[in-house]
Each structure stands twice: as C-alpha cells, then as structure tokens.
Copies of this chain bind each other. A is one copy, B any other.
Amino acid sequence: MEEKMNSGLVTSSRKKLTIVDTDVHHGYRAQSDLYPYLTKFNAERFAEWGFGGLSTHLYTSSGGLHGQRVDFDAGEAGDGLGTIGDAHYCSTRLLDANGIDLAVLTGGIAGAASALPDVDYGSALCRAFNDHSMEHWIAKDPRFRLNLDINSQDPLGAAAEIDRLGSHPAVCGVMFSCGAPKPFGQRFYHPIYEACARHGLAVTMHFGSEGEGVNPPPSAAGFPSYYIESRQLRPPAYAVHLASFIFEGVFEKFPTLKVAMVESGFAWVAPLIWKMDLDWKGLRRHTPWVKRLPSEYLVDHFRFGTQPLDEPADPEAIKHIINWIGGSRTLMFASDFPHWDADDPMMTLSDQPEDLRRRIFAENAIETYKLSLPAISQAA
C-alpha cells in the first residue's frame, strides 16, 4: 500500500467498486490553526478559553488508543479527539490505500460550537473551521467533499454561512450534531433547510454533543456510567430527530431535502419504521400535514452510514434488515476513519449482491450529495 500515489487513480486489483466514504473525520493540527480565520477578539477568546470545556470527552474511556485505530499515526492526529490533522495523511493512508474515490468530510467542531451559550461565538468558530477546511483540505485533493460546519442553534447565522460557501462545487452538505435543545424538525431550524434547498445541500447528522453545554442530558434517565453504555444511546440520539423531521412535516415544506446519518449504524431503523407507520395509522389526525406513511418519507429522504456495522449471530439477519429499511436506497458506505471501530471497505457487506454493493458504496451517496467523481477517477 505504501507505494500508492495520492493521485485519485487507483489501479490496485482490490479496486472493484467505485467507493464513496461518507464519514471521514478531518480536522486541524492545533488550535492555533484556526486563529487566522477568526477576528482578533475571537482568536484571543479561543486561545484563552477554547470551547469552554466542551468536547472534552465525558466518557473517558474509549476503544483503540485514545479512541483511534492503533495503526493510526498519533503524529497525524488532529487537535480534537478522533480527527485527522493532515490532508496528505488522509489522502494516502485512507483514500489511496483503500481505493476510495471520494471522501465526504464530516470532521469538525459543529457539535461543540452548537452547544455554546453564546451562539455568535459558536458561529464564528464554524466559519473559521470551514475556511480552514477549504484551504487545507478541499484545495489539497480533488477527492474531498465537505459538509460545512454550522451552528445549529443559530439558524440565521447558519443560513448566512451556507450562503457564503454553499455553492462551492466541493461543498455537499452541512453538519449537525445530535445533541440539541430541540429536535431538528422544529420550525426554529427551518431557515437552515431553506438555505440547504437554495444550494442543493444535504443535512449530515452525527452523534457527539449529547449532554454537553446547553444540551439536555443524553437520555431520559440522565447520564449512564460507561462509554459502552453511551454507545447504546447513539441510535436514539438520531431517532428523535428522524421522527421530528417526519412528523413536523419538514419534507412537505422542503421536498428536495436529504438527511444523512453517519456513524449511526442502521439495524435500529427497522423497528423504528414499523412503530412510526403503525402509530401514524392510528394517530394521523393529530398531524394532518404528514401526508404519507413515515416509511415512505424515510426511504425518500433519509440515508444511513453503514458503520459501525452490526454483526448479528444469525448471518441472514443483516440481509433482512437491509431489505426492511430499503437499504438499496438508504445505505451509504462509511469508514469512520480514524476511529478505533472504523470499518474497512473491503470487509463491509462483502457478501451482498454486486448491484446492492454499487448502490451502497457509491450511487446512493452520489445522488444524496449530488457528487461528481474527479475526472481522473471517472476515466479509470
């Protein structure tokens, strides 16, 4: 793998599919990397106070080494836990090494920035992170695509940021972190979706800020003790927003909007579909703006990253789940690099039919994020 070039053209015999990786945690090397993109006041504030203690990882054990793959070079780590500090490292060690054609970048600071009490400060940090990403990532490799960091708790500020950068050809979506004072279907957030619609951007959602800053605790029973328990809270952290988007009627108001959930896994979606559909049949008079079965909105509007891939004892189980959730339309490959539990594209759903694998490894992401492959890759 070492001799591969950072060229976008991969000729390894392992390359069988076009691969779009929809969850790559990019970052910056040091806090000072963001100072050039902040006002003097905010740069001083960031140097002195950082994120106000947020993103300091309440659950202080994780897997791997400091939450990252043990083969991940710590010298390449970003300033935030679980991020890659350097684009070149990502290009060679993730993209070249695994024959990945496009990487949708999901790193960043949206979670911490959106949990700060001062929304203007949070939005300023997002702008700085986006400017850094454009200069130090997007400009470095034609295979990178960017989810803009936005402050979900400053919808008008977020919309302004989307209008500032959202039409750049490498920008494909905006990042939301699941922790929030209110579910994302509510009207408070609609200026963000209006801006996404103007620029044809998807919403990408990632867990991470639950129980932080201005956000409520991570569960209806507060804070569990251990990291392994916090992982069990991830599916519900997505599910509350999924139901909110549907039952608030967001997709009737914004019919082109797509919502991607990454580092989510997907087995939990099947029972949620069944429950939402059954409940809608009995209760739809309460929300008459919800015109269709929840499962229909789901298949048309939601996408799920494959990682972390479940491993049920029954080998047929994953096939059933994929079928029940319309996986040929709803699933997108995600590696979650460089996290300790990242999935290898060669080992992900390798026993599934080729046409399904094409949908999951590339076509669904290309449609959701309106991606075009780099010219050299298309020719390959």
Majority SS at the chain A contact face: loop
Interface residues of A in 340-359 (CB under 8 A from B): 340-341
Interface size on A, residues (CB 8 A): 72
Which of chain B's residues have a CB closer than 8 A to the CB of A321? Answer: 271
Give CA–CA (A229, B341) in the complex, Å.
Answer: 31
Distance (whole angstroms) from the CB of A357 to the closest CB of chain B: 21
Q: Is the CB of A317 within 8 A of B320?
A: yes
Q: Is the CB of A271 within 8 A of B274?
A: no
Which of chain B's residues have a CB closer than 8 A to the CB of A236? Answer: 219-220, 233, 235-236, 239
Distance (whole angstroms) from the CB of A340 to the closest CB of chain B: 8
Q: Is the CB of A312 within 8 A of B324?
A: yes
Contact string against B for A residues 178-193, beta-carbon threshold 8 Å, 1 for contact and 0 otherwise = 1111111110000000
Contact string against B for A residues 295-337, beta-carbon threshold 8 Å, 1 for contact and 0 otherwise = 1000000000000101111100100110110000000000000
Interface residues of A in 164-203 (CB under 8 A from B): 178-186
Residue of B nearest to A242 (CB): B232
A97 interface contact, C-beta 8 A? no
Q: Is the CB of B272 within 8 A of A232?
A: yes
Residue of B nearest to A276 (CB): B232
Give CA–CA (A180, B220) in the complex, Å.
Answer: 7
Which of chain B's residues have a CB closer than 8 A to the CB of A314? Answer: 320, 323-324
Q: Is the CB of B221 within 8 A of A183?
A: yes
Which of chain B's residues have a CB closer than 8 A to the CB of A282? Answer: 63, 340-341
Give CA–CA (A157, B322) in the complex, Å.
Answer: 48
Which of chain B's residues have a CB closer than 8 A to the CB of A283? Answer: 61, 63, 227-228
Which of chain B's residues have a CB closer than 8 A to the CB of A215? Answer: 220-221
Residues of A whose CB lies within 8 Å of any CB of B are 61, 63, 178-186, 210-211, 215-229, 231-233, 235-237, 239-241, 243-244, 247-248, 265, 267-268, 270-272, 274-280, 282-283, 286-287, 295, 308, 310-314, 317, 320-321, 323-324, 340-341
Q: Using A186-B225, A226-B287, A228-B279 as known contacts, list a sample of 20 further A-B pairs with CB atoms less than 8 Å apart, ordered by residue number in A.
A: A180-B220, A182-B222, A182-B223, A183-B223, A183-B225, A218-B220, A219-B236, A219-B237, A220-B233, A220-B237, A221-B240, A225-B244, A225-B247, A228-B280, A229-B244, A231-B279, A232-B279, A267-B275, A278-B308, A314-B320
